[in-house]
């Protein structure tokens, strides 16, 4: 399979040259709930993302619930805190991306599920820690009091730590039916995604830039590549690896995921100024209140919408060689800029 995919898009203010990938000429455009115009792929019109998600979310929720069940009385408290945040709802984008990528490459849901669970554990850990008073100091997440509000900061920190360590154990213990080297590759990618070159590094840079004059678009892009996009990239790449992808196919999946990961953050920044706290399930308008540097602050609302559109169109182009097998991933890409929270 010959795969060509342009590098991740950057806003026009970051580069004086035009985008290397023009919008697909055969596509029509639609406007999402965020006001972002995206290319509509006429070949995927028969695919229903709602139906696909309904078929995946039940098994995902079941696997998540069993993954944090307490097995001895001494762990009841910490397992309760882990479950409180893990089972608080959410879009489950990372698990679904992992499963969809695995299926696109010929694998199946059961092979991908342990990694899908691990991804959601890592994501939930990042939310628990992000909400702490020492970080973003938020008391609302997914429409519920945050973990540290309910269980105290001490238990919340430990619950996040436990989710992180359990994620690696879960992949190692429960992944069946694939060569061991694929599992080792996935575990290594998960580890890197959360370390200094991933979530932790992005969060430190985010804290350092908060309220600081002179934060640039390059700074912001670095933060969100590491804090947001990297874990989405690992979700798609891991699914592809478990499904038997070639290195070239993994690279195409990584580029797709990097673009949708950045688009996800741009959409978050747009929602923070256009949606209500009730819609978001967390405090709206907090970025402005804390003088946080965002894409909307640096680019303006309309330019941010344009950037999100470019990122999604570029991401879709990366999966063109996979044809109809990529329909779930393409639909998720559109969902990222069509969501209300």
- Beta strand 28-31 pairing with 140-141: unpaired
The pLDDT tens digits for 190-209 are 999 999 999 999 999 988 88
Average pLDDT over residues 171-175: 98
CATH superfamily of 49-336: Farnesyl Diphosphate Synthase (1.10.600.10)
For the chain, percent of residues with pLDDT exceeding 90: 73
Mean pLDDT of the chain: 87
Query: Does residue 213 carry a pLDDT above 50?
Result: yes
Q: What does the pLDDT read at residue 37?
A: 53
Q: What confidence tier does 46 reach under pLDDT thresholds 50, 70, 90? A: confident
Whole-prediction pTM value?
A: 0.86
Query: Does residue 329 carry a pLDDT above 90?
Result: yes
For 141, list phi and psi in degrees, rounded to 5: -145, 125
Bigger pLDDT: 69 vs 4 = 69
- Length of the chain in terms of residues written: 341
Query: Does residue 18 carry a pLDDT above 60?
Result: no
- 113 within 8 A of 94, measured Cβ to Cβ: no
Query: Does residue 334 carry a pLDDT above 90?
Result: yes
Average pLDDT over residues 269-285: 73
Query: Does residue 279 carry a pLDDT above 50?
Result: yes
Indicate the domain borders of the chain. Answer: 49-336
N-to-C CA span, the chain: 37
- 156 within 8 A of 128, measured Cβ to Cβ: yes
């Amino acid at each position: 399979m010959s795969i060509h995919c342009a590098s991740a898009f950057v806003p026009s203010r970051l580069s004086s040259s035009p985008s290397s990938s023009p919008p697909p000429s055969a596509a029509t455009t639609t406007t999402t709930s965020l006001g972002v115009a995206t290319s509509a792929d006429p070949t995927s019109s028969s695919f229903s993302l709602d139906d696909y998600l309904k078929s995946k979310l039940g098994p995902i929720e079941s696997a998540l619930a069993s993954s944090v069940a307490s097995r001895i009385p001494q762990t009841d408290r910490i397992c309760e805190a882990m479950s409180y945040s893990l089972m608080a709802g959410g879009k489950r984008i990372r698990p679904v991306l992992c499963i969809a990528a695995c299926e696109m490459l010929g694998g199946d849901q059961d092979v991908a599920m342990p990694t899908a669970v691990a991804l959601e554990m890592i994501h939930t850990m990042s939310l628990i820690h992000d909400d702490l008073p020492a970080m973003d100091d938020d008391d609302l997440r997914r429409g519920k009091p945050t973990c540290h509000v309910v269980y105290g900061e001490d238990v919340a920190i430990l619950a996040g730590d436990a989710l992180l360590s359990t994620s690696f154990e879960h992949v190692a213990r429960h992944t069946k039916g694939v060569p061991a080297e694929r599992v080792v590759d996935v575990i290594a990618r998960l580890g890197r995604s959360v370390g200094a070159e991933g979530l932790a590094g992005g969060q430190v840079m985010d804290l350092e830039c908060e309220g600081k004059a002179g934060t640039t678009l390059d700074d912001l892009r670095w933060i969100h590549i590491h804090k947001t996009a990297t874990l989405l990239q690992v979700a798609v790449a891991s699914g592809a690896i478990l499904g038997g992808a070639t290195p070239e196919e993994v690279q195409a999946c990584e580029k797709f995921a990097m673009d949708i990961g950045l688009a996800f953050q741009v959409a978050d920044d747009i929602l923070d100024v256009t949606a209500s706290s009730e819609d978001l399930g967390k405090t709206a308008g907090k970025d402005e209140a804390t003088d946080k540097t965002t894409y909307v602050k640096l680019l303006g609302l309309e330019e941010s919408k344009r950037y999100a559109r470019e990122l999604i169109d570029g991401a879709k182009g990366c999966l063109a060689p996979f044809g109809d097998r990529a329909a779930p991933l393409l639909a998720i890409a559109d969902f990222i800029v069509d969501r209300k929270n």
